[in-house]
C-alpha cells in the first residue's frame, strides 16, 4: 500500500492507493476531468488564506454537489467525496445515490478504480501518523483532515428506480396537456361596498390559486432564461479568447453580473446560478463533459404545465432525478 500525506496550509490531505499507482500523465489521460477538479478544489481551499495565492490567480468555480446541489466547501464543514472520474459529491449524498453500494459514479456511471473520501475533523499536527511508505510534505499548519482511500472497481449494474413521490408527481404534472390559466378578475371582482358571499370567497381563493400557479411558471421561466443567457455568455468568452477554460470563463461572467448587483456577493450569485442551471438542464439543455455531448431537456414549453411545483423545488433536483425525468419524456 502506498500512502502520501500533503499538508497544505490548514488542510492535511492523505492519499491512499490500494492498487499500483498510475503516473500523473496516465491519470490525466484516463480521467481528464480529474486534474481540473483537483486544481479547482485546491485553489478554492486556499482562497480563504489570501497570502497563499498569487494576486493574479483566477479562482475557478468549484462545482456544487451533483446530488444535493449545495456547495462542497460548506461552513460548518461537511464530508465530501471526489471520484477519480472527476465528479464530486457530499459523502452522504453518494451513499444515498449508490443504494446498491457499488463504486460507480452516479453521474456518469464510470467504474471508479479509487475514490477520494473527504472527512473534515479537527487534528493535532503533533499527532500526525508516520506509517511505513509514507511521504510527507509540510507547507504550513493544519486544522482539518482530508483522507483519500483506494477503492476496487465494481461493474455497473442496473439499479431500481427509487424516485420520491414528489418527483413522480412532477413527472405526472409535466405529462398533462397545456391548459390556459384564466386569472383575469373580470366582472366578478367583489366591491368593498357589497357583502362578501360564500360564493365570492370561493371565487377569490380560486383566483388567488391561479395567480400562484402563474407566478410559479413565471419564476421558472425567468431562471431558465437567466441560465440560458449565462451559458451563452460563457461560450462567447471562450470563443473570443481560447486561453480561458470553462471555469475561468464562468468566473468572468460571475464578475460581470456581481459588479452590477449591489449587495450580492459572488458566492450568493454562484448559488443562485447553480440552481438556475438545474432548471435549464431540465427544460433546456446541458453539456456532458464526459461524453462531450449536448443533453437535451424536456423543452421550455412544458413550463406551462407546471401547476404546483416551485422553481425552488425544481432547482434542488439532483442530477439523477433530472436525468430520470428527461429519460421519461425521451
* pLDDT digit string, tens, across residues 220-270: 999 999 999 999 999 999 999 989 898 899 999 998 998 888 887 888 888
pLDDT attached to residue 13: 46
For residue 66, give Cα distances in angstroms to 100, 189, 277.
18, 47, 12
β-pair partners for 5: 14, 136
pLDDT attached to residue 16: 41
pLDDT attached to residue 125: 34
Q: Which of 51-55, 77-81, 151-155, 322-326 has the lowest mean pLDDT?
A: 151-155
β-pair partners for 81: 89, 117
How confident is the prediction for the chain on average, in pLDDT?
Answer: 72
pLDDT attached to residue 296: 94
Q: Which of 54-63, 136-145, 177-186, 236-245 has the lowest mean pLDDT?
A: 136-145
The residue written with cell numbers 509514507 in the block is 134
In the chain, where are the structural domains located? Answer: 2-148, 165-329
DSSP state letter for 89: E
The grid coordinates of residue 164 equal 420520491
* pLDDT digit string, tens, across residues 10-45: 444 444 444 556 666 666 666 666 677 777 777 777
CB 33 within 8 A of CB 41: no
pLDDT attached to residue 28: 65
pLDDT attached to residue 215: 93
pLDDT attached to residue 231: 94
pTM of the model as a whole: 0.51
pLDDT attached to residue 276: 94
The residue written with cell numbers 472527512 in the block is 119
pLDDT attached to residue 232: 95
pLDDT at 154 over 60: no
pLDDT attached to residue 222: 97
Share of the chain above pLDDT 90, in %: 23
Q: How far is CA 228 from the centre of its chain?
A: 16
pLDDT attached to residue 270: 86
pLDDT at 148 over 70: no
Give the residue ranges of DSSP H helices in the chain: 24-30, 32-46, 91-97, 165-174, 198-240, 246-258, 266-283, 311-315, 319-329
Q: Which of 60-74, 97-111, 255-269 has the lowest mean pLDDT?
A: 97-111
pLDDT attached to residue 273: 92
DSSP state letter for 53: S
pLDDT attached to residue 45: 73
Longest dimension (CA), the chain: 88
pLDDT attached to residue 57: 66
Amino acid at each position: 500500500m502506498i500512502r502520501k500525506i500533503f499538508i497544505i496550509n490548514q488542510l492535511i490531505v492523505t492519499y491512499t492507493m490500494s492498487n499500483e499507482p498510475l503516473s500523473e500523465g496516465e491519470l490525466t489521460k484516463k480521467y481528464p476531468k480529474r486534474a481540473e477538479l483537483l486544481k479547482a478544489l485546491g485553489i478554492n481551499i486556499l482562497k480563504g488564506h489570501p497570502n497563499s495565492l498569487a494576486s493574479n490567480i483566477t479562482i475557478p468555480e468549484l462545482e456544487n454537489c451533483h446530488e444535493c446541489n449545495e456547495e462542497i466547501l460548506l461552513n460548518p464543514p461537511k464530508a465530501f467525496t471526489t471520484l477519480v472520474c472527476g465528479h464530486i459529491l457530499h459523502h452522504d449524498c453518494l451513499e444515498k445515490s449508490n443504494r446498491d453500494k457499488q463504486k460507480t459514479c452516479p453521474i456518469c456511471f464510470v467504474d471508479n478504480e479509487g475514490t477520494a473520501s473527504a472527512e473534515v475533523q479537527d487534528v493535532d499536527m503533533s499527532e500526525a501518523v508516520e506509517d511505513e511508505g509514507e511521504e510527507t510534505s509540510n507547507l504550513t499548519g493544519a486544522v482539518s483532515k482530508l483522507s483519500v482511500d483506494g477503492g476496487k472497481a465494481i461493474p455497473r449494474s442496473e439499479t431500481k428506480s427509487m424516485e420520491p413521490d414528489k418527483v413522480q408527481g412532477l413527472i405526472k404534472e409535466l405529462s398533462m396537456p397545456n391548459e390556459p390559466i384564466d386569472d383575469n378578475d373580470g366582472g366578478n371582482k367583489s366591491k368593498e361596498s357589497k357583502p362578501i358571499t360564500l360564493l365570492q370567497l370561493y371565487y377569490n381563493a380560486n383566483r388567488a390559486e391561479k395567480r400562484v400557479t402563474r407566478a410559479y411558471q413565471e419564476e421558472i421561466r425567468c431562471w431558465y432564461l437567466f441560465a440560458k443567457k449565462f451559458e451563452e455568455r460563457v461560450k462567447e468568452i471562450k470563443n473570443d479568447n481560447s486561453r480561458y477554460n470553462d471555469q475561468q470563463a464562468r468566473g468572468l461572467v460571475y464578475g460581470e453580473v456581481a459588479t452590477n448587483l449591489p449587495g450580492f456577493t459572488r458566492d450568493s450569485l454562484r448559488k443562485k446560478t447553480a440552481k438556475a442551471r438545474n432548471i435549464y438542464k431540465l427544460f433546456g439543455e446541458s453539456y456532458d463533459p464526459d461524453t462531450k455531448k449536448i443533453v437535451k431537456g424536456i423543452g421550455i414549453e412544458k413550463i406551462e404545465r407546471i401547476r404546483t411545483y416551485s422553481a425552488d423545488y425544481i432547482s434542488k433536483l439532483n442530477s439523477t432525478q433530472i436525468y430520470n425525468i428527461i429519460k421519461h419524456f425521451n
